[in-house]
């Protein structure tokens, strides 16, 4: 009885190296015991060393993937990741409005750790205006939060203000990921909930280069837990614990920024 399984959807770009994007999402959802479906928005040629090339899917194919999933499956939660360019962001937004896919986690992916731009500059405005207001949970890292708010984010106080701005832009709940702060021994994330409650989540910074796909893993773990019916706060806390565990342990894959291990 397939419709009794807990099903979640990733709407994102692929990673031929298996570490990030749709591949990380599927592995994470599987680990969280959730059936994963995927709408592929872009295909990248990449490995642990970097992104060599990518191409966004034609809008028609994006539409058809959404329709195929919505016609047959019973998606309980969805996430967006790499969305590439303005036409594909617009196609994704239109389909998110058309189909009920449950709570939506928006990971506003912009630039890969290796420096490759995964969202065109002109699409940032479209994400701000059209996608952020659809987010049940928005999960920017510090550079993404800065781009979306137009702020310089240099302190914990700035993170707080940025989260509030992002909520004012329409995201119901906001998780600002502090992992990109340079100077610290720990990584602190700030969460602002829909009801105005807020909290910090802190974990020791792990000295490793195996962090490729961290954001995807976090947002797809959160999505899996939302699909199971967990509260936003619980889903975020479980996501954070899961990512910390997968960063801490494991083996190296490839020659660059190794991916996380999803059998944590």
List contacts with ligand PLP (CB under 6 A).
12-13, 15, 20-21, 44, 46, 81-82, 109, 112-113, 118, 212-216, 257
- Least distance CB 140 / ligand PLP (angstroms): 11
Which residue lies nearer to ligand PLP by CB, 102 or 215? 215
Residues 84, 226, 241, 185: what is their CA dihedral angle, to the nearest 10 degrees?
50
Contacts of 254 (CB under 8 A, 6+ apart): 17, 19, 47, 48, 49
Q: Where are the alpha helices (DSSP H) in the chain?
A: 21-31, 59-72, 86-98, 121-126, 142-149, 156-168, 214-227, 232-248
Nearest approach in angstroms of CB 214 to ligand PLP is 5
Smaller CB distance to ligand PLP: residue 193 or 211? 211
Q: Return the axis-axis angle of helices 232-248 and 214-227, rounded to nearest 10°.
A: 140
Q: How far apart are CA 229 and CA 220, in angstroms?
A: 14
Paired with 13 in beta bridges are 42
Minimum CB–partner distance for residue 196 and ligand PLP (Å) = 29
CB 263 → ligand PLP: shortest distance, Å? Answer: 19
Sign of CA dihedral 93, 215, 41, 231: negative
- Nearer Cβ to ligand PLP, position 32 or 257? 257
Q: What residue is closest to ligand PLP based on CB?
A: 21
Minimum CB separation from ligand PLP for residue 114, in Å?
6
φ and ψ of 222, to 5 deg: -60, -45
Q: Which is nearer to ligand PLP, 128 or 257 (CB)?
A: 257
Closer to ligand PLP at the Cβ: 172 or 257?
257
């Amino acid at each position: 009885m397939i419709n009794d399984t807990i099903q979640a959807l990733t709407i994102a770009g692929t990673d031929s190296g298996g570490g990030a994007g749709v591949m990380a999402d599927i592995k994470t959802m599987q680990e969280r015991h959730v059936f994963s479906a995927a709408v592929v928005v872009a295909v990248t040629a990449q490995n642990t060393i970097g992104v060599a090339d990518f191409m966004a899917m034609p809008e028609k194919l994006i539409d058809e993937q959404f329709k195929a999933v919505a016609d047959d499956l019973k998606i309980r939660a969805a996430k967006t990741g790499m969305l590439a360019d303005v036409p594909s962001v617009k196609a994704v937004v239109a389909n998110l409005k058309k189909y009920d896919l449950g709570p939506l986690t928006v990971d506003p992916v912009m630039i890969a750790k290796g420096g490759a731009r995964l969202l065109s500059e002109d699409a940032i405005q479209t994400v701000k205006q059209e996608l952020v207001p659809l987010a049940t949970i928005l999960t920017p890292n510090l550079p993404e939060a800065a781009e979306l708010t137009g702020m310089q984010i240099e302190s914990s106080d700035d993170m707080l203000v940025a989260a509030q701005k992002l909520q004012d832009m329409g995201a119901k709940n906001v998780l600002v990921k502090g992992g990109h702060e340079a100077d610290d021994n720990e990584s602190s994330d700030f969460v602002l909930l829909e009801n105005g409650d807020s909290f910090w989540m802190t974990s020791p910074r792990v000295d490793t280069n195996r962090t490729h796909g961290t954001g995807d893993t976090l947002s797809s773990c959160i999505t899996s837990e939302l699909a199971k019916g967990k509260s936003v706060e619980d889903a975020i806390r479980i996501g954070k614990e899961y990512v910390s565990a997968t960063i801490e342990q494991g083996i190296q894959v490839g020659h660059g920024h190794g991916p996380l291990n999803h059998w944590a």
